[in-house]
Chain A
Amino acid sequence: MGRLSHQSILAAGRYKSLSLSGISPEVVKSLHRFMLRLRRCEEALAQEYHPADEMRCPVHFCIGQEAVPAALSVLLARDDYLFSHHRSHGYYLAKEAPMTAMFAELYGKATGANGGRAGSQDISYASVNFHSGAILAGATAIAVGAALSIKSRGESRVAVAGFGESATDEGIFWEAVSYAAFRKLPVVFVCENNNYSVFSPQLKRQAGDNISERVATFGMKSMPLFGNDVVLVYNALKSAIEDARAGRGPCLVEAYTYRWSGHYGPASDDLVGYRSEDEVKAWKENCPIGLLDEAMIAGGLLSEAGRAALLKEIDAEIAEAFRFAKSSPFPKAGDWEAMNYASSSPVADALLADIDMEAFDAHQAMVQAKGY
């Protein structure tokens, strides 16, 4: 269908090319289970978000964008680094951080992933090397730093940065790409191109919808693909991550996808008039989970009964996460300074002499240095 773009995907209509050949059934089942769990999780959170109003923080739901996190959940090891944008829940779960702590964080509870300090758009789980942040492209460059360290220590780990196409409006993204390509760093950039910066489409903000082509000119491999075909996404990310681990340099995977809900919150913002009903409908027909369900049923990897059993198990986990979050205590206001600064410096204690010299040769003051 020529060069891939949001237009070409809509023009092609219902996607029929998802193929399970060459991928192990275990991986397919893992991808499927992850996407279903993420979808149910987001739907349940959306249900509870309003009118209960107990989750008092901005939440950017990722319904419709399950494929990239699903692939990462299978491909990344615990000690790999994953940096995410504000639409963070899929990435958080991809690093196998606990759902209970995520829910508690959204409720602002002491048992939250960050004790209620961060919320949905800034959530992190340091022990599994998962970090996120709301200021678009900043984390892409932080991932480059993690990769710099991995390379200089000769490790086979990888740093992955997930972001939306809006992050490529920012200058720092291109600095990050340039430096990663120049130093051949073990970093993988995953762009979830959902076409919209809140309401504004890519072609209203950029001269071309050709991020992958532009990245390639920096000397970095890039792979644009239909991002609701989780098998395509998985295969591309697998090769990108293997290349990075093996020291063959960084890569960009640009996954064209679509968010079903509004930019933030569970409600639709389609009344603004920035996208058509037909467009939303077309993308829902190309639901990443629906496409995989269909192929799995056709391939004998999934039955209606099996799917129902899976949902029951997932829903029980979600119910437990809500129970945990709602019954957890709120954090107590404590020492503000201790919340912002380290309370000890063990490395300095071990390495540095604790001397102080008050005396300063005042005569030196006469030797006034010249300007500059």
Chain B
Amino acid sequence: MTAKRSKVLAEAARSFNGAAGTAPATRKLSYAQAIAQGLHQAMELSQDVILLGQLVDYTPAVFGTTTGLIERFGPDRVLDFPVAESVMTAAGMGAALTGMRPVLIHHRLDFMLYSMDNVVNWLSLWRFKSNDESRVPVTIRAIVGKGWGQGPQHSKSLHAWFAHLPGLRVAVPATAFDAKGLLLESIFGEDPTIIIEHRSLFTLQDDVPEAPYRVRFGKAVVRRRGGDLTLAAIGFMVPLALKVAARLAERSVEVEVIDLRTVTPLDTATVVQSVSRTGRLAVADPAWRSVGVAAEVIASVSEQCGRQLKADPVRICYPDSHTPMSSALENVYYPDEEALAAKLLSLVR
């Protein structure tokens, strides 16, 4: 049954590759639904895929991202795990070592921090220290809250931390299409991967192909063309960037919006290419301002085409402060359309 089903799915995948020019069959799915579909297909495609996380088998289904999996695959493959993130991560890694492809889920990235010993001291360096003899393809989904008083323990987007470590791949998908494609690419890849999911994106809809497909790591995408300035954005900053770009276009400022998609590997080439045309760079990074991915992007661009910059590059980030609960403070803490627009206009004036 499963072998047959997986053959059908793999066939569907291959037919995509062969059908150049024809549009793939797609459905409108939300970001959360696209993740659920990706997980469903991954578990159909391979018995090795198992799911570990708290409450993954209850109807809220981790904000609708694991819907239907327990009914289809049962409790041996969809494991409601105790509130013990460190052993959960180590167990996922041990299972991966034996050939499994586990997906770990954290409702809040903040809880994942219990597992830092495994992530930093074991998972990230396992391939390296085994001299390539051993691999641990673990996929970790870490969800980040924003707004409605999530406060300092439910809202940290630590993609820069993980990006700093060799041996991990780190994705921050901004669209439903990418959420599914990067998830499948992570599960069936060979390296441990952390996918940071911004929960404020979960209701965003997109055209999502029915078949299992991949989105490659290290390949940024230009979401909107423009010749006046380059805006590289990450995660939930991408829809914000597109909104602001549309507004600025009405004032004849054409913003090129690049969705970085993954921060390890980081596709600086696409940004450099754009900046060499526009001469202006802004980076919208949903994280603290200092020592983050925004700084890394600006440094890389400066190294490669710094002399082509016509204006000082800018960062649009959070203040170097923990997240407040009160909406009055939240509204100031998170960059909004006005703040982003003002920063971008400062570049072209």
Contact = CB atoms under 8 A, between A and B. Distances in A.
Interface in B151-206: 166-167, 169, 175, 177, 184-185, 188-191, 199-206
Contact of A146 (B24, B86, B97): B97
Nearest to A346: B190
Interface residues of A, number: 66
A12 interface: no
Interface in B243-291: 243, 246, 259
Interface string B127-162: 111111111000000000111101000000000000
B90 A152 contact: no
A359 B9 CA distance: 24
A369 interface: yes
A200 B29 CA distance: 58
Contact of A368 (B121, B129, B243): B243
Contact of A148 (B91, B223, B224, B246): B91
Contact of A364 (B82, B97, B129, B205): B205
Please classify the interface of chain B as helix (H, G, I), strand (E, B), loop, or mixed, using the class held by over half of its residues. Answer: mixed
Contacts of B330: 371
A339 B167 CA distance: 9
A222 to B, nearest CB: 19
Interface string A265-290: 00000000000000000000000000
A305 interface: no
B94 A340 contact: no
B156 to A, nearest CB: 14
Contact of B146 (A146, A179, A357, A371): A371
Interface string B300-330: 0000000000000000000000000000001
B148 A178 contact: no
B296 interface: no
Instruction: Determine the interface band of chain B, counting residues with CB < 8 A from chain A.
Output: 35 or more
A350 interface: yes
B199 A372 contact: yes
A142 to B, nearest CB: 4
A175 interface: yes
Given A144-B94, A340-B166, A369 B177 contact: no
A193 interface: no
Contacts of B15: 353
B212 A360 contact: no
A175 B86 contact: yes
Contacts of A125: 133
Interface in B2-17: 6, 9-10, 12-17
A68 interface: no
Given A352-B212, A353-B211, A364-B239, A127 B133 contact: yes
A86 to B, nearest CB: 12
A361 interface: yes
Contacts of A355: 16-17, 24, 209, 213
- The winner among A122, A345, A350, A351 for most chain B CB atoms within 10 A is A351
A348 interface: yes
Contacts of A344: 190
Given A144-B94, A149-B94, A133 B121 contact: yes
A114 B130 contact: yes
A11 interface: no
A345 B129 contact: no
B117 A146 contact: no
A257 to B, nearest CB: 26
Given A114-B133, A353-B12, 7 more contacts: A126-B130, A138-B117, A145-B94, A150-B98, A152-B50, A176-B90, A351-B13
Minimum-distance CB pairs A-B, first 6: A371-B147, A145-B94, A141-B90, A145-B91, A342-B190, A353-B16
19 contacts: A141-B87, A146-B95, A149-B98, A152-B77, A178-B82, A341-B167, A341-B169, A345-B189, A347-B189, A350-B10, A352-B212, A352-B213, A353-B14, A353-B209, A358-B221, A358-B222, A361-B206, A369-B200, A371-B146
